[in-house]
Amino acid sequence: GYLDAASGLQAYGDIADAIAAAMDDASVSGVILDVDSPGGEVGGLFDLVEQIQAIKSASAKPLWAVANESALSAAYAIASTADRLYVTRTGEAGSIGVVAVHIDESGADAKAGLAWTFVFAGEHKVDANAHEPLSARARLTIQADVERLYSEFCALVAANRGLTVENVRGTNAAIYRGELAIWAGLADRLGTLDLAVAEMAAELDRATQSRALIKPTAKRSPSMATNG
């Protein structure tokens, strides 16, 4: 909503639009994602990552990212799409995991003198509602969903970072700070946003100079003439 946006919260669609606009802008030579987030919701995340990958494939421009100061959970999934991922000295990367929360408000309801009665159709319709303790069946259903999403998350990161799924699972959703993120394969270089900008500018400048030094070779047209 409006208040969330005013507070700095960015929707997944906004992120995709911003990256696409930058890649389409003729005055932009490269894009760097300045990431500082503890994560976000699963809903729409995998679609966003696919969008970013499609945008990258359609453009020759580099896409880098900086964990400045945190690229965690869903935010790490986004950052992992980058061609090069920096992490600041005290920055954090990782938390590759999935969590679902159930709040049991039945005790608070009883203290408030509230009694909830559900009239419903469909056996699972009121599973995991907040006004009853979590049933064993509902817990198993949620756990199965979390495990499936976790498998997708690990496969996504593994593909983006050139790691094995086993390596990603082996992080056990841990958070890695600074150089530890590099050792874990979750980042490429230690550095600030300013450093990333400077290094991208330098690389783009070198690439431009290299292209300017390459002169096209004159082509000879084959002749059908013969000497008499």
Say if residues 62 and 31 touch (Cβ distance below 8 Å): yes
Reduced to 3 states, what is the DSSP secondary structure of residue 189?
strand
Pairing of strands 63-72, 84-87: parallel
Tokens found for residue 191:
């550095």
Look at residues 127, 123, 122 and name the one whose alpha carbon lies nearest to residue 141: 127
DSSP string, 19-59: HHHHHH-TT---EEEEEEES---STTHHHHHHHHHHHHHT-
Question: Exactly one of 111, 125, 215, 219 is catalytic; which is it?
Answer: 125
Known active-site residue 80: no
Say if residues 91 and 71 touch (Cβ distance below 8 Å): yes
Distance CA 156, CA 92 (A): 19
Distance CA 181, CA 160 (A): 15
**91 burial type by CB count under 10 A (0-12 exposed, 13-18 middle, 19+ buried):** buried
Question: Exactly one of 37, 70, 73, 80 is catalytic; which is it?
Answer: 73
Known active-site residue 125: yes
Residues with a known catalytic role? 73, 125
